[in-house]
A and B are shown apart, each in its own frame.
Chain A
Amino acid sequence: MSESAFQIFVNALLANNFVLAMFLGLCPFLGVSGKLDTAFPMGVATTFVMLVASLCAYGLNLLLTAFHLEFLRLISYIVIIASAVQLVEMVLKKYSPALFRALGIYLPLITTNCAVLGVALFQTAREYDFVQSVTFSIGGGAGFTLALVLMASVRERLTLSNVPDLAQGTALSLMLAGILSLSFMGFAGLGG
């Protein structure tokens, strides 16, 4: 447990970016990154869910360990995440109905975003303490948002260029993601 909170944050944000280095949360990454207007709110909403999930998972893990019920970990994590998503959905619906409609189906799908479950599982596997867990989830969420925004900016530019029909759609997005991921490899070793 020698990692400082800052190292964890930088690692989760850049060097081990959730999307581009660890392949977590690819479905929304490919699905919502078409427009910048929806990509950023989606990133923020996911970050919030990650934070809530991470806090709950931390508490829950203490409880499960105390009662020697570790085999229930996966099931209880996923139930907690589903409830957290429901919470975000209700808050958004009340305070920003426009955004709620813009995110549409992708909002409930945060439940099946592996980045969220990934945060909960990785912090348990690495035995992070409370502060470390919180920074890990915020860093991971920020990294997810960063990747989403970068990808959306590139794809917005790309709609104006002349792309061969063959490469339209997912194939092109994957190639773009590959190039982004290549550039993120430059951050390797940054967090020490």
Chain B
Amino acid sequence: MNAAQYKTWDEFMEGVWRQNPVFVMVLGMCPTLAVTVSAINAISMGVATLFVLVCSCGLVSLMRKLTPKEVRIAVYIVIIATFVTAVDYAIQAISLALYDALGAFIQLIVVNCIILGRAEAHAAKNPPLPAMINAAGMGVGFTIGLLALGVVREILGAGTLFGVALFGAGFQPWVIMVLPPGGFFVLGAWLLLFSWWARRKAGLPAKEATPHV
């Protein structure tokens, strides 16, 4: 890999790992928790968001010199809403079952803070190609985050993965995991795991409890 390639790769991995929107920045919580009752829903939501993210960041970046500073947020929102409408109709055309499962959360991609955040913080200041690569990294990171939740919740809550039964007939599904509280618990557990891991890497003791009054 030469230097330029390395920089591009770095830009991409930024969103996938170091700045992962779900686990590190804790953004876009609403779709994260609402649609991750199964792995397939999680992937679809992730890909839909990825598409909107890449397209709108590209367009925002192309228009960055034409956009007056005062109305930039309004411009971003309208651009994002346009692509979300396209995705909404596309999903409806491709799979009606999926459309019903995701429900209003496809349209709610508009108010996903990750997209507006990327448009404002990165795409508005960079040329189209780096902006789209950065956006793609974020989108992939988001999809991975959703998948991590969806897989755990589907295995525990329904005993299946991508609709395939994993356990014998004797398995008693842990229904709470596909209900709303399960979403909060699983994400909380993932965050605990990540903070434990980050701490261990930094060489800090994990068990010590310090009062912080």
Contacts and interface: CB of A to CB of B under 8 A. Distances in A.
Interface of A: 20-27, 30, 71, 74-75, 78-79, 82, 111-114, 117-118, 121-122, 125, 159-160, 162-168, 170-172, 174-175, 177-179, 181-182, 185
A4 B84 CA distance: 33
B187 interface: yes
B104 A185 contact: no
B163 interface: no
B184 A165 contact: no
Contact of A23 (B34, B74, B192): B34
Interface of B: prevailing SS: helix
Given A20-B180, A114-B30, A166-B195, A78 B206 contact: no
A79 B191 contact: no
Contact of B108 (A71, A111, A114, A181): A114
Interface stretch (B9-17, B55-63, B110-118, B139-147): B110-118
Task: Bin the interface of chain B by size.
Answer: 35 or more
Contacts of B85: 71, 74-75
Interface of B: 26-27, 29-31, 33-34, 73-74, 77-78, 81-82, 84-85, 88-89, 104, 107-108, 110-113, 116, 176, 179-185, 187-188, 191-192, 195-196, 199, 206-213
B137 to A, nearest CB: 21
A104 B96 CA distance: 42
